[in-house]
Amino acid sequence: MKFKLNIILVLTGALLFVFFKAQPAPPKPFGPVPTQKQMDWQKLEYYMFVHFGPNTFTDVEWGDGKEDPKVFYPTNLDCRQWVETAKEAGMKGIIITAKHHDGFCLWPSKYSTHTVKESLWRDGKGDVLRELSDACKENGLLFGVYLSPWDRNHPTYGAPEYNQTFANMLSEVLSNYGEIFEQWFDGANGEGPEGKKQIYDWPLFNKIVRTNQPHAVIFSDIGPDVRWMGNEKGIAGETNWSTVNVEGFTPGEGAPASGVLNSGERGGKVWVPAEADVSIRPGWFYSASTDDKVKPVENLMEIYYTSVGRNSNLLLNVPPDRTGRIHPNDSTRLMEFRRAREAAFSKNLAAGATAKASQTRGRKFAAKNVLNENYDSYWTTKDDVLTPYLDIDWKQAQTFSCLLLQEYIPLGQRVSSFNVNYWDEKTGSWVELIRATTIGYKRILRFPAVTSQKLRIEFTALACPVINTVGIYHSPE
C-alpha cells in the first residue's frame, strides 16, 4: 500500500512539473516601461491642485513680487477643510503652490524675505505647508508641492547664484514636511530685476528632489517622471502615448511642441506619462468675481473623459478663498462631480458576461482575466499575434453606451488602435460601433446607446496586446 502511495505521489509530482513547465512565459516588456513610482502615481488618477498666496488677496493671477507680504492674511485658514473636501470628492492627494512666480513662500524660508514670516497671519509664525502636510497625514491623503523656479521678488534672480538659492528652498520644503508624492515644476522664466533671464540648472533641481524624496515623481514639460500634456483645459490627445523623446529639450521655452506633449510619441525612448491640469474656475487663484463661474458638472465630466479617460491623470485646481477655506460653491460642485462619476460607473455590465478571444497565450493568460478585478492578471496572445480580437458575450441582450479598457502597462504600451463592433441580431452580422487609437493605463469611450448580446474588440498592436480590464457601462447621458 505504501509502495502504491509513493508511486501515486511521484506520478502526481511529475504531472504537475510537466503542467507548469508547459505553461508559456509572460510576454517580455515592450519598449520603455513605467517605474514602480510611476505606476503608483498612475493609479491615483485624480487629485487636487491648490493655488493659494498673495494673488488670492490682490485678485491677480501673476503677482509681480512687489506686493506687501502683509496682504497675505487668511482670516480662518483651515487646511483640514481642504483635505476633508478633497477626500470626500474622491481625490487621492493635494499639490499646493508652495512658491508661485511672485516668489512668496508659504513656509518661513531662510532664503527669502517674501514669506509667511513677514505677513501678519499667525503673527508671522504660521506655516501653511506644515498645516497642510499634517492634515494630509491625518486623513490619509498624499501631499505634493509646486515651487516655481521663476521668482519676481528675489534680488538674485537672473544671476548664477540664484540657482543655488532655489535649490536651498527646494531642500527646505522636501526635507521638512514628510513624504512628498509629486514635485511639480513649470518652466516659467521671466526677467529678473536687472532684465536678465535665469538659466535654470535643471539637473541640480532634479538632484535635490531625488536626494530628499526618492519616491516622488517629478513633473515638468518633459518629466523626467510625468509630463505636462500641452494645455490647461484638461484635454489629453485622443491618441496619447506614455512614451516621448526628451533628449535636447528643457522645461518651458525649450519644451517639445504642445502637440507632441498632448499625444506623446509612438516609439518614444522614455516613459513619461501625461498629467492634465485644469482649474474648476476660470482662473487659478480665487476671485469673488468667479463665484458664479465654477465649472458645471457636465463640463467636469467631459474633462474626466478627456483626461483620465485618455491615459492621463487629472489634477483639478480648487483655489481656497480669502478666509483660507474652499468656497461652498466649489465644494458643492466637487460632490456633484463625484456623484456623477459614481452614477456613470456604478454597474459594470461586463461582470455578468463571458469573454473569449481569437487567440490566447495559454490558460494563465485566458480571456476571462479581463473581467476580474485583479490588476496583475491579463489576457494576452502569442508573441507573433498582433491583430487579435476579444468577444464579450451575455446570455441576453444588454444596453450599453460606454467602454473602459486598460492595458497592463508594466509590460509597456502596445495597442496602436482598436475597433469596437456589436452583434446585430436582425442582420446576423457585426456592426462597427467606434474606432480609437491608443489605450495605455486607461481608455474610456462613449457612444450612443446600443442593445446587443455580443461585443467584439479588434486590436492592432506593436507587440502582442496585454489587456487586463474590460468594463462596459450604460452611463447616463
Task: Give CA–CA dist 317/426, Å, rounded.
Answer: 49
Q: What is this structure's pTM?
A: 0.94
Give me the pLDDT at residue 475, please: 85
The string of pLDDT tens digits covering residues 365-401 is 999 999 999 999 999 999 999 999 999 999 999 999 9
- How far is 194 from 56, CA to CA, in rounded Å? 27
DSSP H or E stretch at residue 339: helix 328-344
Residue 16: what pLDDT? 45
pLDDT at 19: 46
pLDDT (tens digit, 9 = 90+) per residue, 9-22? 555 554 444 444 56
Going by C-alpha positions, the residue among 331, 278, 282 that lies closest to residue 86 is: 331
Residue 411 has pLDDT above 60, yes or no: yes
User: Would you call 85 helix, strand, or coil by DSSP?
Assistant: helix
Identify the pLDDT of residue 1: 53
The whole-number average pLDDT for the span 302-312 is 98
Cα(148)–Cα(101) distance, integer angstroms: 6
What whole-number distance in Å separates Cα of residue 134 and Cα of residue 141? 10
pLDDT, residue 459, reads 98
User: What rounded mean pLDDT belongs to the chain?
Assistant: 95
Instruction: Kindly tell me if the per-residue pLDDT of 285 is higher than 50.
Output: yes
5 pLDDT band, cuts 50/70/90, is low
**Is 453 strand, coil or helix?**
strand
Q: Check: CB of residue 236 under 8 Å from CB of residue 306.
A: yes
Report helix, strand or coil for 146. Answer: strand
Q: Does domain 36-344 have CATH number 3.40.50.300?
A: no
Q: What is the pLDDT of residue 8?
A: 55
CA dist 415 and 85 (Å) reads 37
Please give the sequence-ordered ranges of beta strands (E in DSSP) within 280-353, or none if there are none. 312-317
The CATH number of 349-473, from 3.40.190.10, 2.60.120.260, 3.20.20.140, 3.40.720.10, is 2.60.120.260
State the Cα–Cα distance between residues 60 and 50, nearest whole angstrom.
15
Task: Please state the domain extents for the chain.
Answer: 36-344, 349-473
Cα–Cα distance measured from residue 252 to residue 264, given in angstroms and rounded to the nearest whole number: 17
* pLDDT tens for each residue of 100-159: 999 999 999 999 999 999 999 999 999 999 999 999 999 999 999 999 999 999 999 999
DSSP state of 158: T
- Which pLDDT tens digit goes with each residue over 217-274? 999 999 999 999 999 999 999 999 999 999 999 999 999 999 999 999 999 999 999 9
d(C-alpha 124, C-alpha 102), whole Å:
19
User: pLDDT tens digits, residue range 58-82?
Assistant: 999 999 999 999 999 999 999 999 9
Decide if 388 contacts 356 (C-beta within 8 A): no
Give me the helices (H) in 185-319, please.
Answer: 202-212, 258-263, 297-307
Strand partners, 424: 429
Residue the block writes with cell 523656479? 149
Q: Are strands 354-357 and 270-271 parallel, antiparallel or unpaired?
A: unpaired
Please answer whether residues 109 and 171 qualify as being in contact, where contact means their C-beta atoms are separated by less than 8 angstroms: no
Work out whether the CA dihedral 121, 123, 127, 131 comes out positive or negative: negative
Mean pLDDT, range 323-334, rounded to an integer: 98
CA distance 187 to 148: 8
Query: Which three cell numbers mark 246?
Result: 526628451
For Cα atoms 312, 314, 315, give the angle at the middle one, nearest 5 degrees.
135
43-73 burial: b if 16+ Cβ within 10 Å, else e:
ebbbbbbbbbbbbbbbeeebbebebebebbb
More confident residue, 331 or 6: 331
pLDDT digits 0-9 by tens, 163-192: 999 999 999 999 999 999 999 999 999 877
Instruction: Over range 15-30, report the average pLDDT.
Output: 71
| CA distances, 70 to each of 124, 261, 294, 317 (Å) | 9, 39, 29, 25
- The helix-helix angle for 297-307 and 328-344 (nearest 10°) equals 60
